[in-house]
């Protein structure tokens, strides 16, 4: 298997200008076409691997005593700085098991074990505090706010979230949304946040309630960007054979912030 090439961009700044804070996990996945056990996953893993095509990101997360050296090497080979990847020897790595249905639009979580991730408390190094481009993965909003409080004048902050925080920590999430430069969520999450099932109305609602810029992902139908100059739509990349969509949203966000940091 060949190593993916790094994309070179003219005028690219220093290669360590992206910080990604999120989960590192082991996924066990069943799809209509294949299945796999203990696959490297988690929002920070996917985002950093995608960002590594454009820059050399710092990862901040936690793993357990069962985390394999081969997975550390997989991340390190892409130029990802692992100094912020904590190892908690008292437990196992965050684990998720899920099953996708025939059209991949619906999945069932069959098992979820937070393990050491339940005690995750991101503490940034002096170098990490100065990182200009930051992605906050879909961790608890209070942890996202803790990271924001530690940062020293970041140039651009991208925030992600998931349904459970919309349902249980809405006020804290609203503060994250106000402090971030870009919110990236999917259409189901935008509907839950705003009560609007129409993506255009949902995006406008979020902008009117404090979000500077919003991207709403629509899966196979692409994404919509809402910002001060209006909106922009883009289609999804055409795929003839979908095998596993796990981490697609995290990869999208990671590649986006990696590209922004490199241009």
User: How much is the pLDDT for 214?
Assistant: 99
- pLDDT for 13 equals 42
DSSP assignment, residue 121?
-
Token reading at 120: 């995750």
Give the model's pLDDT for residue 243: 86
Q: What is the pLDDT of residue 16?
A: 78
pLDDT of residue 9: 55
What per-residue confidence (pLDDT) applies to 3? 54
Q: How far, in Å, CA of 57 to CA of 40, rounded? A: 17
What crossing angle do the helices spanning 248-262 and 43-51 adopt, rounded to 10°? 40
The class of domain 18-24+42-90+120-262 in CATH terms is alpha beta
| CB contact at 8 A, 38 and 58 | no
Per-residue pLDDT, 251 = 97
Token reading at 99 = 């099953």
pLDDT of residue 242: 84
DSSP 8-state secondary structure symbol assigned to residue 262:
H
Phi, psi of 210 (to 5 degrees): 110, -15
Predicted pLDDT of residue 14 = 44
- Per-run averaged pLDDT (10 residues), the chain, 263 residues: 56 71 97 92 98 96 98 97 98 96 85 96 97 97 98 97 94 97 97 97 96 96 96 93 90 97 92
CB 53, CB 115: distance < 8 Å: no
Task: Please give the backbone phi and psi of residue 87, each rounded to the nearest 5 degrees, phi first.
Answer: -115, 120
Q: Which helix (H) or strand (E) holds 147?
A: helix 141-150
State both tokens at 261. Answer: 């940091």
Chain centre distance of CA 64: 20
Listed by start position, the domains of the chain span 18-24+42-90+120-262
């Amino acid at each position: 298997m060949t190593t993916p090439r790094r994309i070179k961009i003219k005028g690219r700044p220093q290669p360590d200008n992206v910080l990604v804070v999120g989960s590192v996990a082991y996924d066990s996945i069943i799809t209509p076409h294949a299945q796999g056990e203990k696959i490297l996953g988690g929002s920070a893993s996917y985002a950093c691997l995608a960002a590594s095509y454009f820059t050399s990101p710092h990862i901040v997360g936690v793993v357990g005593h069962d985390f394999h050296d081969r997975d550390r090497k997989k991340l390190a080979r892409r130029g990802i700085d692992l100094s912020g990847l904590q190892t908690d020897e008292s437990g196992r790595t965050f684990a998720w098991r899920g099953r996708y249905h025939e059209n991949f639009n619906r999945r069932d979580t069959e098992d979820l074990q937070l393990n050491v991730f339940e005690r995750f408390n991101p503490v940034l190094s002096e170098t990490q505090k100065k990182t200009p481009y930051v992605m906050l993965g879909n961790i608890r909003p209070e942890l996202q706010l803790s990271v924001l409080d530690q940062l020293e004048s970041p140039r651009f902050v991208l925030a992600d979230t998931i349904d459970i925080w919309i349902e249980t920590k809405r006020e804290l999430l609203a503060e994250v949304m106000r402090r971030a430069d870009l919110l990236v969520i999917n259409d189901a999450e935008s509907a839950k946040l705003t009560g609007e099932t129409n993506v255009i109305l949902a995006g406008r609602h979020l902008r009117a309630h404090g979000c500077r810029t919003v991207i709403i992902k629509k899966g196979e139908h692409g994404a919509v960007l809402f910002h001060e100059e209006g909106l922009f739509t883009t289609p999804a990349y055409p795929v003839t054979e979908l095998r596993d969509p796990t981490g697609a949203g995290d990869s999208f966000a990671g590649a986006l912030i990696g590209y922004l940091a490199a241009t």
